[in-house]
A and B are shown apart, each in its own frame.
Chain A
């Protein structure tokens, strides 16, 4: 049986990963778009992204677009794998009810 992942299970991080794994593997979403999708504040999202980045589940890419700094975020291959395992673990808890 797959294990639950404590880092991913926190509600904001769970929704963040759900949004990121919905994108294609070569796609990344910008910070502002992700923030409005999740309905959280800059500081809150920033803190959760740091945790996910430290765990190696997401990659944060800071670049300049038309001389303005933009931050893009994507799920890593490891993040996608761990998230899929977490979903399987949640489903198995439901099945064993």
Chain B
């Protein structure tokens, strides 16, 4: 079989393009969409917390979180529909159970310690979400641990050192950072 160098180059480019398309569409790197969704929610929610009244902010967070949950479920189901494996069903159930328990533990801690203000409440939620992120990273993709640790440190810095602009800080660095990371993963893969 004879293949010219230009044909070989074309074939390799076609292979590379197909692998990239597949990763984006159906492999685990499709998870970038969750980072973008939750980055936008954090960006809008924390900007609201910075500039709007606590009552309006409470409703805004409820709407945004519900929307985020629905979008995550829709994208998660769509991503999982095209590909199946012997281990994915069990892993999916365990991951779902973990996040549900993490959420319930967060509610329990908030109920026991009853935070004195919105910032403290936000920090509890951020810390529990980041614990979940790090646990998932340890299980699924070790490299993802670093963004989780960085966001945790940034949140703590904002909470203790920059209380006046804490929400803005979290909107730009937390939400914006998640969007940027999502876009970076999408372009890199």
- A residues near B, CB below 8 A? 4, 6, 9, 11, 14-15, 18-19, 21-24, 26-30, 32-33, 37-38, 72, 87, 90-91, 93-94, 96-97
Contact = CB atoms under 8 A, between A and B. Distances in A.
Interface of B: 1, 3-5, 8-9, 11-12, 14-15, 18-19, 21-23, 25-27, 81-88
Contacts of A96: 5
Given A9-B1, A87-B12, A90-B12, A19 B18 contact: yes
A29 B26 contact: yes
A32 B85 contact: no
Nearest to B25: A37
Q: Do most interface residues of chain B lie in helix, strand or loop, or is the interface mixed?
A: helix
Contacts, number: 83
A26 B22 contact: no
Contact of B84 (A21, A27, A91): A27
B15 A15 contact: yes
A29 B27 CA distance: 10
Contacts of B84: 27-28, 30, 72
Contact of A90 (B8, B26, B27, B87): B8
Contacts of B3: 4, 9, 90, 93
A23 B83 contact: yes
A15 B85 CA distance: 21
